[in-house]
């Protein structure tokens, strides 16, 4: 199960708030009790992921790892869209999708987002 932990904070409140909301959506998928609810949660996830990735990428304009970060976002979105196609084809995807989301999101937060946190922290220290 994926949960918000303080050590996942990027130090950017808007992004942290978005991350907490994404975690909540992922948890909702895990507890969905019907195919209809799973479909609605996937739709909500895709909509919010696009919003979040756009917000995050705009903040990373001068970040040296921006292009790699964007590639990771696109790969994730492609994966979620693939699960959505499977869902519409009538496949049972809830457990597999939850495992994918939990694993990818945890890894992305702990690796990629922490790299830009370190980058912005170093900029703040230099400016102080």
Average pLDDT per block of 10 residues along the chain, 128 residues long = 90 95 95 94 97 96 94 97 97 96 93 92 81
Q: Residue 16 to residues 23, 44, 79, 88: CA-CA distances in angstroms?
A: 11, 18, 23, 31
Residue keyed to tokens 């949960």: 3
CB 119 within 8 A of CB 65: yes
pLDDT at residue 125, rounded to an integer: 81
Sign of CA dihedral 21, 26, 27, 28: positive
Query: pLDDT value at position 39?
Result: 96
Q: Is 68 helix (H, G, I), strand (E, B) or coil?
A: helix
Number of helical H runs and strand E runs in the chain: 5, 0
The span from the CA of 98 to the CA of 104, in Å, is 10
pLDDT at 1: 75
């Amino acid at each position: 199960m994926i949960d918000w932990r303080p050590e996942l904070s990027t130090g950017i409140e808007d992004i942290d708030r978005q991350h907490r909301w994404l975690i909540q959506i992922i948890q909702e998928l895990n507890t969905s009790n019907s195919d209809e609810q799973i479909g609605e949660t996937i739709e909500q996830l895709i909509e919010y992921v696009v919003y979040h990735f756009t917000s995050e990428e705009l903040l990373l304009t001068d970040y040296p790892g921006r292009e790699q970060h964007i590639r990771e976002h696109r790969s994730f979105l492609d994966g979620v869209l693939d699960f959505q196609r499977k869902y519409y084809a009538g496949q049972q995807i809830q457990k597999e999708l939850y495992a994918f989301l939990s694993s990818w999101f945890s890894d992305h937060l702990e690796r990629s987002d922490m790299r830009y946190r370190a980058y912005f922290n170093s900029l703040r220290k230099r400016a102080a």
